[in-house]
Amino acid sequence: MVQKITWLPAAQSTFSDSLTYLEINFSEKEIQKFVDRIQQKLLILGSFPGIGSKCKKPGVYKTIIHKKIILFYQYRPLKNEILLLAFWNTLQDPAKLKW
C-alpha cells in the first residue's frame, strides 16, 4: 500500500478546472459523483499503484476517471509515493500535454 499521494500544482489546477466546468454545466449531484469517483480511484491506486496504463515517460501512468477525464500520475516505488500530475479532459488537444 502506498503511504503518500501528493497532488502537484498542475493536478490541483486541472481538477479545479474540471469542477468549474461541472458547476456551470451539471447539477450538484453530478459534481458529487465526480468527486466520489476520484476518491474511489485514489483508494484503488493507493493499494494497486501500477494498475493504470503505462505512458511513454518512465514511471508515469494514466487511468480513466470518467469517459472524458483521465488522471495522469507518477508512481515512485522507492519512496512509496504517488504524484498526481494532471486530470486531462479527453476533448483537449493531446499535443498540449507537457510530457
* Residue 83: domain span: 4-90
Identity (one letter) of the amino acid at 38? I
Q: Are 37 and 66 in contact (CB under 8 A)?
A: yes
CATH at residue 19:
3.30.2310.20
Question: Is the pLDDT at 64 greater than 90, yes or no?
Answer: yes
Count of structural domains within the chain:
1
Residue 98: phi and psi, rounded to 5, are -100, 25
The Cα–Cα gap between 89 and 67 comes to 9
- For residue 99, pLDDT beyond 70: no
Summarised one tens digit per residue, pLDDT across range 22-37 is 999 999 999 999 999 9
Residue 82 domain flag: yes
Q: Which residues pair with 69 in a beta bridge?
A: 66, 89
